[in-house]
Each structure stands twice: as C-alpha cells, then as structure tokens.
A and B are shown apart, each in its own frame.
Chain A
Amino acid sequence: MSNLALAVRDSSTMLRRNLLHARRYPSLTLNLLLTPIMLLLLFVYIFGDAMSAGLGDGGGDRSAYIAYIVPGLLLMTIGSTTIGTAVSVSNDMTEGIIARFRTMAIHRSSVLIGHVIGSVLQSVVSVVLVGAVGVAIGFRSTDATALEWLAAFGLLVLFALALTWIAVGMGLISPNAEAASNNALPLILLPLLSSAFVPVDGMPGWFRPIAEYQPFTPAIETLRGLLLGTGIGHNGWLAVAWCLGLAVLGYLWSTARFHQDPK
C-alpha cells in the first residue's frame, strides 16, 4: 500500500474511532456549545441596547447588534470546540491504546489526523447549531451570494482546521485534561479581545493593534464582509494567512511532539 493510501485509510479508521467517542459521549461537545450560545443571548438580550449604542454608527437598534455579533460568535464557537479537542487529545494520550497504536504498522500521524478531522466536523456542526440560534433570534444575511456563502463556509472550515491543529499540540503537551483545558484557554479568550463584541475602534489606542491583528479579528471582519457586505479590505488575506500559518505551525508542532518517545 502506498504511503498516501495508508495515511488515508488509517486516518479514516481513526476518524471513525473519534466520531464514535463523540457520539457515545456527547456531553463534552454540548457543554462547549453552551458558552457561545449563552454569550449570544446575554449580549443580545441583556447588554444589547448598551452594546448597540457603541457600534459607532449613531446608535443602531438591537437587530443591528445581532447582525454585528453573530459572525464573531460563530468563530468563537470554533475556539470553544477546539478546547474540547485539546482535552480529548490529552485524555487520549493517557490511554494505553495509544501505546498500542505506536507499535502497529499504521500511518504514524493517523491518530492525530483522525482527531483533527473529527474535531473540524464537530466545529462545523457546532457552528451550524449556533448559527441556527442566531437565525432564530433574528440574524439575516443581507446580500450574500452563493459564492460568498461558499467562501464563508470555506473560511470557517479553514479557521477550524488551524485552531484544531494548535489545540492538538496543546493537548499533547498537557499531562492531563485539566492542564489541557487551561492551556487551551487562549482559544476562547482571544475572541473577547477581538472585534467580536465591539468594534476595535472603541478600544484604547495602545491595545488597538493587538486586537486588530490577532487571528480572530481578520477572520471575523472577513466573515462579516461575506455575510453582511461590510468592507473586507486587507482582512481577507490576513485571515487566510493566519489560518494557513497556524495550521502549518500546529501540524509541525503536533506531529513532532507525537513522534517523540513517550514518557
């Protein structure tokens, strides 16, 4: 069997294993879904009036704020899902079966690839669920064409892929599940420091560059542009560059870490 065929076959076996885990123990995935949904409802219904006043275009109403916040929360959902990835990778590494996998003539990285694809699929499902809640409370895309929808979907998948590879690395360096969830905390804190909830313009000057150029903001602005027709500008390229960069970095980091001798 060629190396590629082996990689595909073993990775899909590992993917089936991870999906089986997720299906049998859905509580972790569902718990992680709660955070973005709660935040969405909290910001729209509790802080909504105050927040919409801060949008800067002369005080929009609540529906304007729903439109503003949903793209950010969709990306935050991905961050939240990947915390689950870090935890389950870390958990998995303490299982004896990983040692068994390492002594079998299988594609070496298939264990990780299975985790990554499984987690990206989970992210997509979570994004769809959070998106459905958004639509239910009044989010509407204004002028997105089919191509823009496709691009938005592609961006979400690419973003999920990037964060997932980083989360896998975080899971691998964590000795246990608690450490993994702590190490992966930036993945859900970063969106709070982005343009997800308030425009970057409203932040203090010294902080603005950080908020503007961290991975979430360009992705959020791009998604907004695709769904709502706001300006994308350089954010599109920035978002794609961040995604590719993080994905490659996470992949190299994770596989190097996994190929080391286990303790």
Chain B
Amino acid sequence: MTGLAIAANGLRKSYGDKLVLDGVDLAVPEGTIFSLLGPNGAGKTTAVKILSTLITADAGELRVGGHDLAADPQSVRAAIGVTGQFSAVDGLITGEENMLLMADLHHLPRREGRRVAAELLERFDLAEAARKPASTYSGGMKRRLDIAMTLVGDPRIIFLDEPTTGLDPRSRHTMWQIIRELVTGGVTVFLTTQYLEEADELADRIAVLNDGRIAAEGTAEQLKRIVPGGHVRLRFTDPAAYRTAATALTEASRDDDALALQLPSDGTQRELRSILDHLDAAGIEADELTVHTPDLDDVFFALTDPAAVPAQPKEAVR
C-alpha cells in the first residue's frame, strides 16, 4: 500500500479560450483522504470530472488506480466510484431500485446484489425510505443514497465533489462520519470542498486550487501556518478611545476608517486571557471584541496576495 492512487502531472484543461486548469500536479497516496480546496469557479469540479473519466484533459500525464486515464479509461472506471456535486440518483425510481440498478451494472449475482443493496441502505439509514421514489428524498437523504450507490461496486478510489454543499449542519456531520469510515477500509478518498473546516476535519493532505493552479499544498497544520488569519478584533465607537488604544497597542494593525484594531492571536483561551489582561492593564475598553480563526477567506487572501506568497504568480482575485 505504498503506491499512488492518483497521480497528475501538468493537468491542463480549457473551455474555448477560458483556461480552467493550468498545469495542476497532484499526488494522492493510497488509503488517504486528499482534499482539493477552492472557491467556486476555481476548477475543482473540472479536476474531478477529468480524473473520474467524465471529460478528457487537454494535456497532462494522469494515472488513477495505476491506470493511464487516456489509454485505459475503462480500467480506471472499474477502480473508482464518483459522487458528483449534483445528485447522481435516478429520481423516478425508488432508493432500493437505484441500488439494485447499481448492483446489476456491477454484474453482481442477483442474490448478492440484493444483500449488498439492503446492507448499504441499512448502513446509510435509508432502509425505511427504500421503497419511496428518490425524488421525494431530502437533500441529505439524496446525498446518502448517492454515496451508497457509489459504494455498491466496492471502489478502491472514491471521488466526492462537494459532498456537503447545501446540507444542514447535522447532515454535514453525518457525511463526515461516513467519509471517515470509508478510509478505515483502505479506500482512497479524493474530496473537493469550499470549506476549510471540512478539509481540516477530514483530509490528510490539502491542496488549495485557485484560478486553475495549485496555490499551496500540505497538511492542514502546514496550511494554517502560512495563513496569518487568526486575530482578535477590537472595535471602538469613540474616536478618542480608539486613538488611545492604538497608541498603547503598538503591535496591533489599525483600521482607522472602522475604528478597529487587530491583534494577532491563535484563538486559544490562554492567548485570549493574556490579551484581555493586557487591555485591562492599559485601561482600554473596546465596545466590541471578536475572535477570528483562519477561514477560507484568510487562506485565499493570503495565497493570492503577492506580498504573502512571493513565489505565486499574481492573478485576479475574484
């Protein structure tokens, strides 16, 4: 289990004159969760579509499950399972019929197909709704059915394109639990998301995709280190109080228009207390105090700001 489940080298794709993926390199070891993080329009879905054989790349050496994507897409298809952004279930037939359809397409013997379908429906809490048309399912149920269908063929590599977008918090946590369980069986998961929190929760490695290029890659910890986003923000209503505070807190960055100061902080209780002590000692009383932890915005501002990451070519921030 030391090989790469997914390897991409110089992946390029454009639609007309719009360049969507501009030389993307990826390496995903077997049995890990890899997350492709990025805003809408960054090219995440295009990357998944290409790696899952749905569309063809313009250029790049691509191997999935040890098979060359261009030369042998059918072997790639035999190794993967895909759950796209838009639910890939047949709404006109029931959940159970959807599962049996998958079993038939994976050429399982009838009896085994029924067993696998029943097991998965049970596991994903869909047994009760199994006889209802899939179009009547809620968003969370559809996603669960979608993943259950993906698992029928026992794929070794699973692509999940924004599996939690549009789900309520409870369904999102259920989905996270499901994804964690997948990798315990040795499955490789390639996950796209626009939520840093989600990548942080799940992924062994994260790549940040922006404007068709990998802006940064590493573990969640490594990424957070390059993001200077964690801070405490103090806001004042009285300009005089603001000026006094700004003079006392020399390490703070100032926002004169908003009468706000920003102090770097990792958001821990210990640091917060020391900041509060410091404010008390200096006799400063802010009208509003908020704690900011790094989020996707911070990552993006950091990664697309030439001053923060000099090596990155500057492209328009959308």
Contacts and interface: CB of A to CB of B under 8 A. Distances in A.
Pairing of A with B: yes
Interface of A: 1, 9-10, 13, 16-17, 20-21, 24-25, 95-97, 99-106, 261-262
Given A17-B93, A99-B54, A105 B78 contact: yes
Given A103-B52, A103-B80, A13 B92 contact: no
Contact of A262 (B55, B106, B150): B55
A61 B107 CA distance: 59
A103 B89 contact: no
A99 B104 CA distance: 17
A261 B50 CA distance: 10
A20 B93 CA distance: 8
Given A20-B97, A103-B54, A105-B74, A96 B89 contact: yes
- Please indicate which of the listed interface residues A9, A95, A100, A106 has the most CB atoms of chain B within 10 Å of its own CB: A100
Interface string B53-94: 111100000000000000000110110101010111111110
B107 A99 contact: no
B101 interface: yes
Interface string B38-57: 00000000000000111110
The 9 nearest A-B residue pairs measured at CB: A100-B88, A96-B88, A105-B78, A105-B77, A261-B55, A13-B104, A96-B86, A103-B82, A97-B90
- Determine the main DSSP class of B at the interface with A: loop
A12 to B, nearest CB: 9
A104 B93 contact: no
B93 A24 contact: yes
B105 interface: yes
B105 A10 contact: yes
Contacts of B99: none
- Please indicate which of the listed interface residues A20, A104, A261 has the most CB atoms of chain B within 10 Å of its own CB: A104
A100 B147 CA distance: 11
B149 interface: yes
A10 B102 CA distance: 11
- Determine the main DSSP class of A at the interface with B: helix
Contacts of B153: 104
B143 to A, nearest CB: 11
B92 A24 contact: yes
Contacts of A105: 74-75, 77-78
B77 A96 contact: no
A170 B302 CA distance: 49
Given A100-B149, A262-B55, A25 B80 contact: no
Given A20-B92, A21-B92, A24-B133, 14 more contacts: A1-B107, A13-B105, A16-B104, A20-B93, A96-B84, A96-B88, A99-B84, A100-B82, A100-B149, A100-B150, A101-B105, A102-B54, A105-B74, A105-B78
A256 to B, nearest CB: 15
20 contacts: A1-B107, A13-B104, A16-B104, A21-B93, A24-B93, A24-B133, A97-B89, A99-B82, A100-B84, A101-B105, A102-B54, A103-B52, A103-B53, A104-B77, A104-B106, A105-B78, A261-B54, A261-B55, A261-B56, A262-B55
Contacts of A104: 77, 105-106, 153
Contacts of B104: 13, 16
A16 B84 CA distance: 24
A102 B55 CA distance: 9
